[in-house]
Amino acid sequence: MSRLRVRELAENKGFSISHLQRRADISMGTARRYWYNTKDGKTEGMPLEELNLPVLKALADVLGVSVRDLLADEDRKSLRAAAA
């Protein structure tokens, strides 16, 4: 299970969730799940367990970062360790 930095990166660029949702051309429900890192898109709840690569790519493109940059540092370290 990964912790995403979507909200952090978007807010640093001055984007609201609705602005990000429109620019990435994703549903508001999907935007909320990735923004809050929750399975149901609520501010509190079960963590998001499944990630969709096309959604991550769309979000990364809008934010001007790589898909890898959307993952929290600890998750990137885990991925590197698993690949080694």
pLDDT at 76: 44
pLDDT at 14 over 90: yes
User: Could you tell me the pLDDT band of residue 49, with boundaries at 50, 70 and 90?
Assistant: confident
**How do the residues of the chain divide into helix, strand and coil, expressed in percent and rounded to 5?**
60, 5, 35
Domain count, the chain: 1
Give the CATH number, domain containing residue 12.
Answer: 1.10.260.40
Residue 79 above 60 pLDDT? no
| One-letter identity of residue 41 | G
Q: What is the pLDDT of residues 50-67, one digit of tens each?
A: 899 999 999 999 999 999
Is 64 inside a domain boundary? yes
Over its C-alpha atoms, the chain yields an Rg (Å, rounded) of: 12
Other CB atoms within a 10 A radius of the CB of residue 39 amount to 13
Three-class SS state of 71: strand
Whether 69 has a pLDDT exceeding 90, the answer reads yes
* Mean predicted lDDT score pLDDT of the chain: 88
Domain of residue 26 covers 6-83
Structural domain contains residue 1: no
Quick check: is 18 in a domain? yes
